[in-house]
Structure 1
Amino acid sequence: MAATSAWTVRSHDAAPRSEWVARPRYAPSDFIVLLWRERFLMLAVFAVLFVIGAAVALNLKTTYPASSSILVRLGQEYVYEPRAGDAGRGAVPDSDQVIQAETEIIGSSELKQRVIDRLGLMRIYPELAKKFAEASAAEKRVVMGQAVRAMETNLKIQTAPDTPIVRLVFTHEDPKTAALVLNTLLEEYLIFRRTVLVEANTPAMALQRQAFETRLEEADSAYEDFLTSNRIADFVAEKAALSQLQSQIEQQKYLTEAQLQDRSGRLAALQAQMGQVEPEVGLYRDVNNAASDKLIELKLQREDLLGRYRPDAQPVRALDAQIARLEAGISEGRTTGEGARRIGVNPVYQTLQTERIQLQAEVAALRQSLDALNTQMSQLLDRRLKLAELEPRFQALSLDRDVLQANVRDFAVREEQSRAAREIAAASNDNIRIVQRATAPARGSSLKKPVLVLAFLFAGFTALCAGLLRMFLRPGLPTPASASRTLDLPVLGMAPLKAA
């Protein structure tokens, strides 16, 4: 015995302890063997769970989904129209907000209640209809709530970002009922949305308009009394006309003053010039041209002599001497004499005198025009001061009158627009178009196969977990290989397990 212990205990092993528990160490090959040992337990667990899942799957009913789609666009009912004032007028939500609002209306419980009331509970949910017929008044409300919740569960509303299409899917056990319910839902939706989005006809706007009309009549009366008492036909037109007329008269006055100064200056200068101009002046005088004529005659004679004599002949030289003396006398002015003279009225003096008379008349006329313009300016200024004194009162009356007129006009327009919008909305839904109506689906959908597959997978997984749990909870070392790895000792032999 001592020899066996020495043979089996190695020098590097720790000393044996009195109480020692080893945790089994497994290899992948051990799992196959150990799970095979637990095959009956795993098979039992799998069979029980799969049978239960199969029973549940086989009891599931086939449902038929009916689908439809609508196109949602921005409508007049989404344009903001303030009751008073223009703050925010014309503001509109974006497309996603419009889609969200329409989907909320489609998904409202009241709309589903309308569909149930129209088709009848027996046509949609016969089982709930039987309960409803046998229930009390309080229980009937509960049953109706169950029907509405069932419709909410079976109805699916699908939207996509930046897409004006809303898709509706309603599932039911009967394909015809699914299509009928969905089409009825769309029809009731087109009616129901009008009551939600279109403002109801209230007399408040008409009463407010009548109140403004009464105040406007009082303002008109005060306005007419003001104009009549001050003898004004049109205050604004008269003020503008006076301003324009004053501007014209001032311009004419400045022009008249400039012309008067011009004429006065010209008259003073003309009178100064007349003192320097003689009243009479020589009209013309005769000039004595005898010497010139004599010179021409001598030159003609010389030419005649040259035809008979040579230039240095005595007669020609004598004639040249006469011509030279005569030319010298003409050049020195000894041969010039006074001719006849005539004296008459100086035309310059006469012109100056005529112009002075005209300027004197113009100056007198311009002075009279200037006096008349000054008188007109004074009258216009008095009238404008009177209008300026009356203007604050006129502005107050006009402002009250204009504001009341604008309010009456706005309320009348809004009242007509509201009436027209209600009538149009009651007749059509232009911004909502049904793209596709629901038809009875030819193929239904059922969860039998998916439930069977899930039941199979769940049963298999649970059975595997049960086998692993049973495997790990068994005492001892399950296989020789596991014992060798756990105890770090070689296994020399193995005996079969003897039945207890």
Structure 2
Amino acid sequence: MILAFYHKRIILIVALLSIIAGLTAATYARTRYAAESLVMMMIDRSHAGISDVAGTLPSVLSIDGLKSVDSEIRILESRRVIEDTLSALDPVTLFPEIAHPRLFGLLPADSPQDQLEKAIDKFKRRLQVEQQSSSNIVRLSFSHEDPDLAADTVNALADAYLKRRRAIFDIPRSPFLASELARHSDQLKSIEGQIQALKSEYDIVDLGQESLLAANQVDSIVQRRRQTQERQAALQAEVAAAKKRLAALPERVFDFREQSNQNQNDDDRNVLLRLELERDRLASQFLPDYPPLQELERKIRTVRQSMKGGDKPVFNTTREVRNPTIPFLSNHLLTLEIEQDAVARQIDELNRQHTVAVEKVGRLRKAESELRDLERTRGVMEDIYRDYAQRTEAARAEEEAAKVRFSNVRVVQPAVAPATGTSMAPSFIIAGLVGGILLGGAAGVLATWLRQVYILPHEIERDLGVPAIASFSDTDGELVSPGAQQELIHLAAQLRDHGVDDQPMALVQFVTANDGDGDAIVARGLALEFAKGRGLRTLLIDLCGDGTGQLAAINAGADDKTDGDADAGTGERLPTIDPQGSGDLETLPSAVPLLWVSRQATGSALGSLRTPIAQSRQMLERLNQRFDIILILSPPIGNSHLARRLSPMVDANILVARAEHTRAPVAARMRDSILASGGDIVGLVLTGRHFHIPQVIYRWL
């Protein structure tokens, strides 16, 4: 509500403009008379026309009742029907404004074609075609300022629709279907002749059986050729091996060789063996001196002596015979070469048979492709011929029945001139009021979104991130109202309760961005609160002027009972502090006890930017020893660097912004400048706050 009352001017202006536009439109709104006519659609089999008489495409129109009625409505709203209606009524008579000169008479009127286009657009906007409650009744309505002309237009539209519908559906189909049937019959006979000629050319009885036999024959020949080639390779290997072996064999081979000195009937060894066996038998039974045993020993020596004799001749026998392998290998090689020649002739014959079989398969494949295309074409032509035959008979029957059949679209209620009309004036007025409310609200939202000044303390806290420690509404005066005094007491308590290093704040600087933001009034009120309300020795340093204005305002607002010599509570008064050297700060006592005001502070060392920072800091320390709290009024931060310079020297900086005056970017730049200088910000004081909601409404909140 605060935002709404703050932007009330913009909201009211935009709302009034919308209301005025609605009233203006209502003033120029004319009463229109709507003539009505009812048309009944009787759905039967003939109503659903066929868009493709050949039947190769799906039907566009559905035989479903509601969809058929909707199709009739689309025909009724078509451009062709509207053009026929305007041709019967004359577009200029129906809409005289299309013949008027354009652009307030500066341009000539439109051409006849452009006039017709404009008349068609206006006709479509004023025409209403509706289906009544999902039935087969269609309501035609046309609005016009002349009731008789509106009725004539509806009747002309119904007549043009019936003519157009008759031209669409009354199309004889049997002649076309009969000619197409004859043409497809000729094509079918031609395809049959081509199939017979193709079979005769390729000598085909049953293509499938002959193709299978030809494929089996090719496969058999291939298998036999592979086996013969394998045998040929084996024969070549055997012939090569036989020739190699035969070349390596000698013509004669060594049979045996024998050398011996043994004669025929030489039994010395056998005798020796028998004697030794007999000796061993006797030796095992008798003593060595047994005479028979000794006799055997002599016989053995004699036989051995005889065997060692060299008087026996030595015989050598060598025998060489013809190699028997040569005749065998020669015969086998001859057999292999003969078989190899036979196999070569067999492979040649198989190759010839394979070539013939492959050519036959190729011819059959070609014949199959051509025959398949012809048969496919014949199948499609037979289906088309059959379908055309059925459709031709059906079309003939329908055309014969249509000659004695009544129309399935009838005008139930012709249009008559209406007695009462309707006006858009109330609608325009309501639209203006509703639009005023909506546009006014939108204008308020847009103004709030574009607003860059602050009107509430929480907006400052949200945007700057700095707490709003006080807000004053009567900063044009001296903060004498009870509410302002309570806000000053609250502000003073916050400054004294939150100190630095367990010490209450003694040096406080007021920083503002613009002149006249109320920082001087807030500083004076806070100084009076510290001096009178808390009994603290307070010094107000005015670096924006010479201090006489601050002293005069304080003295003018002082209590009449205060004589300026002593404090009411303590009866104590400090003497005037005079300057002790060039550049020192001079202070003057005010009419309020314990409150001093600087004099010509801008010319002192504290107010000069040429003074070293160390000297300014020492000066503030000396003043801090004499006073309990010091309030410093610095010039606007956009005009002077003095506020940024003193910000790190004081205990706290208080930002001062004026409601509905200080812009958000300026306040943000003021905050950033103080923080960048190293100063601490204790909070922000909002001055000049207004309460936009009337008091009468506030009582109910």
TM superposition score normalised by structure 1: 0.43
| Bigger fraction of residues in helix | 1
| Bigger fraction of residues in strand | 2
- Structure with bigger RCO (C-alpha 8 Å, 6+ apart): 1
TM superposition score normalised by structure 2: 0.32
